Structure 1
Amino acid sequence: MSALLVLAAPATPVAAQGPAYLADVDDLPLAPGLVEDADGRVAFDKPEGRIVQAVASGRTNLAGVRAFYAETLPALGWQPGAERTWTRGKETLRLNVDTRDGVVVVRFAIAPSTP
């Protein structure tokens, strides 16, 4: 007599989804609720450094998005500079967070820092 052993696999739990990142900057996360606009991407390298421009938007809280970047960017090595700019190494990040018709729109621009 042979025994038949049937193992029921438990329902696969859904893993907590981590943050999404800009497609062209693998260490620059999107704030919760934002989605990158694939048509708004520009990225290329030049001898002085990379240039990246991206746009992300979503129906989320403006103050929450600003707070997310104010907390997250320093943890990633970005130092606050002049209004809406951050520096890390030889790069400058310009971050413009605004709303348009109830949608939060974030524009990212990374370029080599000027001396």
Structure 2
Amino acid sequence: MVKPRRIGLALLLAALVLPSPWSGPAPAAEPAAFVAGTEDLPLMPGLRQLSDTGVVFETGRGRLIEAYAVGPVTPDQVRAFYTATLPQLGWRPEGAGLGFRREGETLQIEVLAGGPPRTVRFRIAPAQ
């Protein structure tokens, strides 16, 4: 004869392991956000793009992009995020501050004075 304690334990384990019909589907992860005009410059979590403040322009020499984002971030957090993330996307650090270079383009990221919230400026231009 099976003891009631073992049956209860088996039911408890089954309830923990098997998906519940009441739980519904798992929430989808938020898609990665990118700086406007780019498909390869991630927007740091916590930053929100400012609409109607940037410029996206294609030239014969490459693209010119200037965009702004705001959020409750510190300059150190911005530096840490982009110095860790951008090299994985092919951007090489260049010069002082948050300057990068990749495939004939330069990227400059600047945390503007003021805030909170802080404003972050992104500028991509053809390399000189």
Unpaired runs of at least 5, structure 2: 1-20
* 1:72 lines up with 2:85 in the alignment: yes
Q: Out of 46, 61, 79, which is 2:59 matched to?
A: 46
Q: How does 1:17-36 map to 2 (within 5 A)?
A: 17-36=30-49
Structure 1 runs, 4 residues or longer, greater than 3 Å off: none
The share of aligned pairs that are identical, in percent, is 39
Q: Out of 83, 96, 101, which is 2:110 matched to?
A: 96
Aligned residues: 107
Deviation string 1:47-99 (CA, Å, 9 cap, x unpaired) is 01110000011113432221000101111101111123110010000110245
Query: Which is helix-richer, 1 or 2?
Result: 2
TM-score for the superposition, normalised by structure 2: 0.75
Unpaired runs of at least 5, structure 1: 1-7
TM-score for the superposition, normalised by structure 1: 0.83
d(CA) in 1 for partners of 2:103 and 2:114? 32
Given that 1:42 and 1:52 are in contact with CA atoms closer than 8 Å, whether structure 2 keeps it comes out as: yes
Q: Does 1 or 2 have the higher relative contact order (CA < 8 Å, sep 6+)?
A: 1
Please tell me the root mean square deviation across aligned C-alpha atoms, in Å.
1.6
